[in-house]
Every structure is written in C-alpha cells, then in structure tokens.
Amino acid sequence: MFEKEQQPHLQNLRSTELKFIHPQLENKFNELGLKSRAKKYYIKQLSDDSESDIGLTTGKTSPLFNIEAFPTPNAIDYFDGDTPNAWSNKEGDNALDRLLNAISEYLLYTLNDVEKLFQSALSEASALSQKERRRRLKAARSKPEKILVKSYTYKRNPDVVIEVLERAKGNCELCQKPAPFKRKRDLTSYLEVHHIKQLAQGGDDTVENAIALCPNCHREQHFG
C-alpha cells in the first residue's frame, strides 16, 4: 500500500524515495508470532551514484531478511550498510520480482495455518465467560468467512500407474482377489495404484514403490 513519496532523510540523494506499508503482511507476521519492528518498505535509489540500482529495502528486523519463504537480497543500499540488504531487478536476476511473488504467496494460508489459528481461537473462546461469549455470538456474522488456501500436491507419473496395473493383471496385489468390478470407461479392472512409502513421506513415484490394490485393501492401508 503506497504511503508517500519523500525526500530520503540523512542522505544527500537528489531523487525521492517511495514509502510503502503492508498491513496484511504485518498482520500475518504477527499471527505467526514473528517479531518485526520494520513496518515501512522503501523503493529507492541505492547509492549516490547516478548509475545506481533502484531497489526495495526495509528495516533490518524484518522477517523478509531471515525467513526461507523469501529470496535473499541481491543488492546493497549503501546508506544502510555494506552487505546485501535490498532487492533489485538486475539483468539475469529479478530478485525484486521474486520477492513480490513470494510475498503474495506467503499471504495465502495453508490448511495447517488455518487449523492452528482455529485452535488458538478455540482456547481463547473457552476462556471467555458465558455472558461474554453470548454477547460475541449475538454480534457474529452467520455466514462464515471464506479464505483462499494454498496447497501442494504431487504430479504423478501416468506410466507408473499403467505399468503397475498391467503387472497386477486384474488381481489385487495384496489380497490376490480379482478386482471387484471393471471400469465402465475402458473395462480395465478397478484397482487403485497406491504408493507403499507415501509421496508426502518422501516416497518415490516409481513402479517399485507402487502397488495395485482393491478398494478394500486400499482403505485398509490408509485407515486400517
């Protein structure tokens, strides 16, 4: 969010700098318990040199500098030190663009974040008096707020699936019984290709790590 254009103080730069705030980002840092005293972001000329890079910088306490979600700074704001402390778009290295993308991605919640926030809201709610809780209930919206979450999934290899189904020849590779029914689409047997070591646990998407299961055995593997 643009705040203002200002003359850089304590610097004899002729060009002005642009000052921004980002309440949403600040909010997210707070929610996740990350300490930051840096609440302003600047887009500015990074040195007195007329050929100087233009970059984005902020206070040293900002989580932008030390959490993995963000790219490392690739430029130096010489007014504030001599180690990389700014993000700039240079030839072959658009760190500033990468930073801005990383920030928008960072602002999306994961399902896990949503769950954590809900758990802490629950303990807060249980600490209220009944009177206070009912007062809150009266004022509450009846339609729940919708939020967009980010999630990661795996792009599976179709060749692994087909190869494992062919290996199984229509029989569950665990209980050895024939598949209970055929797929309408192509009359192949209804077996599900399951990863022995789950992909999320670092398992490989390979024929060796996959097994064709009937729906019963498959359910058993996951929930048994």
Question: Under the criterion CB under 5 A, does residue 175 sit at the interface with Zn ion?
Answer: yes
Contact between 100 and Zn ion per CB under 5 A: no
Report the residue from 34, 103, 174, 207 that binds Zn ion according to the rule CB under 5 A: 174
Quote the CA–CA distance of 123 and 101 in Å, as a whole number: 34
Query: How far apart (Å, rounded) are the C-alpha atoms in residues 212 and 219?
Result: 12
CB of 198 vs Zn ion, minimal distance in Å: 8
Q: How far is the CB of 129 from Zn ion (least distance, A)?
A: 47
Say which residue the tokens 């087909």 belong to.
Answer: 162
Query: Shortest distance, CB of residue 175 to Zn ion, whole angstroms?
Result: 3
How do 17-20 and 2-6 pair as beta strands? antiparallel
- In the complex, what is the shortest distance from the CB of residue 205 to Zn ion, in angstroms, rounded to a whole number? 12
Footprint on residues 178-207 left by Zn ion (CB under 5 A): 194
Nearer to Zn ion, 76 or 193 (CB): 193
Q: 25 or 160, CB closer to Zn ion? A: 160
- Element holding 150 (H helix, E strand): strand 149-150
Distance between CA atoms of residues 24 and 213, nearest Å? 46
